[in-house]
Amino acid sequence: MRVAGIDYSMTSPAICTHIGKRWNFQNCKFYYLTSIKKLGKKFHKGQFKGTLQPKKHDNDEKRFDMISHWAMKRCLKFDFVAIEGYAFGATG
């Protein structure tokens, strides 16, 4: 089964994907958006992949659109996709 989970933060979104019949951390890949240059690369033999996003956007709508395209590109081939509920500015 191919499963993806999305933390759809508007500032630092992340996706965890898993392919395999049984749960195994080695079968997971993690994707995230970052504005920090040194984090915009692959780590741990490609299991973690950071994508560098622009620090400035023309407006929030363009930034949200870019984030949604980034997420969709990584989740289209999966059988099940779950999205975390949004916290609307929660702290702690």
21-42 confidence digits (pLDDT tens): 898 899 999 999 988 888 888 8
Predicted confidence at residue 11, as pLDDT, reads 78
Flag whether pLDDT at 90 surpasses 70: no
For residues 65 and 11, the model is more confident at 65
Residue 19 and residue 26 in contact, taking contact as beta carbons nearer than 8 Å? no
Q: What are phi and psi of 15, to 5 degrees?
A: -135, 135
Predicted confidence at residue 15, as pLDDT, reads 94
Predicted confidence at residue 92, as pLDDT, reads 59
Residue 15 and residue 71 in contact, taking contact as beta carbons nearer than 8 Å? yes
Residue 13 and residue 70 in contact, taking contact as beta carbons nearer than 8 Å? yes
pLDDT confidence band for 87 (50 / 70 / 90): low
For residues 49 and 63, the model is more confident at 49
Residue 4 and residue 82 in contact, taking contact as beta carbons nearer than 8 Å? yes
Flag whether pLDDT at 54 surpasses 80: no
Predicted confidence at residue 12, as pLDDT, reads 83
Helix boundaries (H) for the chain: 60-75
